[in-house]
Amino acid sequence: MGRSERRELVSRLAILFAHLLKWAHPSGRQSASLRNTIKVQRLDARGVFADNPSLQAQADAIVGAAYEKGKLLAANETGFDERSFPERCPWTIEQALDPDYWPDQAM
């Protein structure tokens, strides 16, 4: 497993988490475009995991790093303070990558 694959996965998950945060935020930012972006990031992240199964052993650390970046991205894109989002990732990696999972607006 190379560092570039880990960075790629962190990047994909950060974007995914940012969009899941926007989806779940009570600001009503759900749209077809946002849904499609989430779907694409899920496919890409699952692809990185499939190509690099050894990354599964680092999933918790990767999720932690990606979520921190995702919060900042979501705050930047929405104008909300990053503290308006949960401190820790509210989803398991399985939920985040599940094509049928859509978080409720409960933040």
C-alpha distances out from residue 23 to 49, 57, 103, Å:
24, 28, 7
Query: What does the domain layout of the chain look like in residue ranges?
Result: 3-97
Contact 48, 19 (CB under 8 A): no
* Mean predicted lDDT score pLDDT of the chain: 92
The pLDDT tens digits of the residues spanning 23-58 come to 998 776 789 999 999 999 999 999 999 999 999 999
Lowest mean pLDDT among 39-43, 53-57, 62-66, 69-73: 53-57
pLDDT of residue 1: 47
pLDDT of residue 2: 76
pTM of the model: 0.92
